[in-house]
Each structure stands twice: as C-alpha cells, then as structure tokens.
Amino acid sequence: MTEVKREVFGHMPQEEGGGMVEKFVLKSDSLQVEILSLGCIIAALETKSRDGEFSDVVLGFDTLEGYTRKHPFFGAVVGRVANRIAKGRFTLDGKEYQLFLNNGPNSLHGGAKGFDKVLWSPQVLPNGVCFFRLSPDGEEGYPGDLKVWVTYTLSGGELAINYRAQTNKTTPISLTNHAYFNLAGQGSRDIYDHEISIEADSYLPVDDTKIPTGEVAAVQGTGFDLRQPVELGKHLQKFHLDGFDHNFCLQQAQARRLVARARHPPTGRAMEVHTTQPGIQFYTGNNLDGSLKGKGAVTYPKHSAFCLETQNWPDAINKPHFPSALLRPGEEYNHTTWLSFSAA
C-alpha cells in the first residue's frame, strides 16, 4: 500500500507571482518520496540500506527559499526541451525560433523560466500525484499551447514518472526529471565508490559547449563503455575523464526496458532505471562546487552526486538523423521512467 499525504511547503515570493507551494509525501514500506508542486521537484527520496537504515539519497534544500534561488535544477522536471539546443535556435515549418540563451551560447532545460520554476496544479491519486500545467503559446519562445501532465506513482520500491503532453501547434518537446542522486546519502562527499552501468552501445560526442557534434559514436574500447559495471572513481582516473555529461543512445523501442543501474556497495543500496525514452544523459555533478548549502546545511562539492536523465537526444531539433523531438497537433507525447530501489 502507498500512503499519500499533502501539506503546505511555503509560499512563492510576490515577485515570482506568489502562490502556495504544496509538498506531497508518498510512502511505501521501502521508499518515501517528497514531491513539490513547484517544478514537480523531488525534494527527498528515502530508501533503505542492507541494514534497513533509511537515508535521503537526493540533493536539495530544506526550505522553499533554496528552490526559488538559483540552483542546478535539483530534483525538477525540466522542459519544454530538456538539455541543450545549439544557439537556442531552430526552424520549424519555415519559421525560425530564437530561445533565451542561458548556458553560454546555448539554451538549456527550457530557458530562463522553464518548467522547473513554475507552479503546477496537483491532483492526488490513490498511489501518487498528478501535476498539470498549460504552457502558453510563445512561452520561452516555443510555439503552441502545450498541455502537460506529470504523474508520480509509488509502488513498493519503485517510483514511476509518466510524462504526457498535447499541443495545438507543432513544437519540440523532451521532458525529464533532473534529480541528483548519492546512494550513500545526500551530503556524502563524492560518488567515486558507486558502481554504474548503462545499457548503451553508442553515445554522442560533444563540442566544447556540450552540443552533440552529430556523430553517433560506438562506446566499444572507450571510457564511455559502461555496459559492464564500473567503479566510478577508478574509471574516471583510468580514462583521464573529468566526469560525464553525455547522452547515451538507448535501444530504440517504445517498450519499458532496463537502461541503467547504480549501486553503492558499502550500503548495499541500488537503483535501476527503466524507461521508454530514446536517450539517457549521464551527468556526474561536474559543475557542483561546494557553494550551495543543501539539506542539513551540508555543501555539495564536485562529483557529490550523479544524474541519470532519461530524455530525447540533445539538440535533436537541429539534427534530422537524431530521434524526432517534434510533437504535432492530434498526437500525444507519452513517456514513462521507472526508478527501482533495492538493497542487498
């Protein structure tokens, strides 16, 4: 059985339009998840170790104030288009669209005020919560009125996140959740003792602004071959990598499939990622620098968390040979990602 509780988390500042932010607590025997109506943010996720000890394994803040200030998308749903669009530009049906540039020369995670910074309308379900919002035509430069539903449901040790959307004009869309995980418990110093595997035969090399070059490269014989579990710290050293911030290309199937696994041997905690999406961005918190004070006043240094963001491939709107990121009127965008937690 899953218990669902709702409570007030805080109020948005007036300059942000005001409004009450609610927190939804989803609880099963083995997992407790806290989700905010601001940005559909996963604010906490507590899971057991092999000794039965619960720890919160996602980075974030204790109060609303942390989330209303600048932060690296902790726990949030990002959109309309997750990841980067080169020069914030794309052409659709002969018309050029220019987006806000918020990541060097590129547009990242929806722009200046993406889905992570807005209030969503919640509806409580027997085993979870469904958030809805209408992203109006022209919001952040994107075409079309886009209706979006994000549904979190909890069943035992598994959290499912379903994304649905409908539009009245053709628009690019790619939605993901940007939770930062550390299976040793949030606030732990690094993720070097984690074992990671990703079921991908290829990945996307990027230029120095993190935009895919267009090449779909084989992982075989490179530091990007994560098909067998690697201990992250040793692997980064071996291949002289500063960290990962890359899209791994998944088998193209609409069905649910296992795409990644993270394990923390000292506590026995493990997390599996299953999805219907065509890509997964593996990010090792390279830009965390210890300047943010998170939950319990801990700081988050570089490599103190990882993200496994299921999504479409970055800059797909400008790369015709990538999986299409377009949603047309009369169609429905519908993807699900499942996060399964266990301990052994």
- Tell me whether residue 3 is exposed, middle or buried, using C-beta atoms within 10 angstroms of its C-beta: 0 to 12, 13 to 18, 19 or more: exposed
Q: Is 180 assigned a ligand-binding role in the annotation?
A: yes
**Which contacts qualify for 292-299: CB closer than 8 Å, 24 or more apart?**
292/71, 292/72, 293/66, 294/59, 294/60, 294/61, 294/66, 294/74, 294/186, 294/187, 295/44, 295/56, 295/59, 295/60, 295/61, 295/62, 295/186, 295/187, 296/62, 296/187, 298/186, 298/187
Q: Is 217 assigned a ligand-binding role in the annotation?
A: no
- Give residue for tokens 């895919």: 212
- Is residue 46 annotated as part of the catalytic site, yes or no? no
- Is residue 309 annotated as part of the catalytic site, yes or no? yes
Closest by alpha carbon to 59, among 73, 40, 74? 74
Q: Is 334 assigned a ligand-binding role in the annotation?
A: no
Whole-angstrom Cα distance, residue 226 to residue 248? 10
Closest by alpha carbon to 191, among 54, 254, 283, 311? 283
Query: CB neighbours of 330 closer than 8 A, spacing ≥ 6?
Result: none
Whole-angstrom Cα distance, residue 40 to residue 22? 10
The active-site residue, picked from 46, 109, 309, 335, is 309
Q: Is 62 assigned a ligand-binding role in the annotation?
A: no
Residue 260 · residue 198 · CB < 8 Å: yes
Whole-angstrom Cα distance, residue 272 to residue 197? 10
User: What Rg value do the Cα atoms of the chain yield, rounded?
Assistant: 19
Q: Is 109 assigned a ligand-binding role in the annotation?
A: no
Which residues on adjacent β-strands are paired with residue 179? none
Q: Is 43 assigned a ligand-binding role in the annotation?
A: no
Phi/psi of residue 111, nearest 5 degrees: 105, -150
DSSP string, 102-117: -BTTBEETTSTT-GGG
Query: CB neighbours of 224 closer than 8 A, spacing ≥ 6?
Result: 203, 217, 246, 248
The active-site residue, picked from 46, 109, 178, 195, is 178
User: Residue ranges for the binding site for beta-D-galactose?
Assistant: 83-84, 178-180, 245
Q: Which residues are catalytic?
A: 178, 309
Give the residue numbers of the binding site. 83-84, 178-180, 245
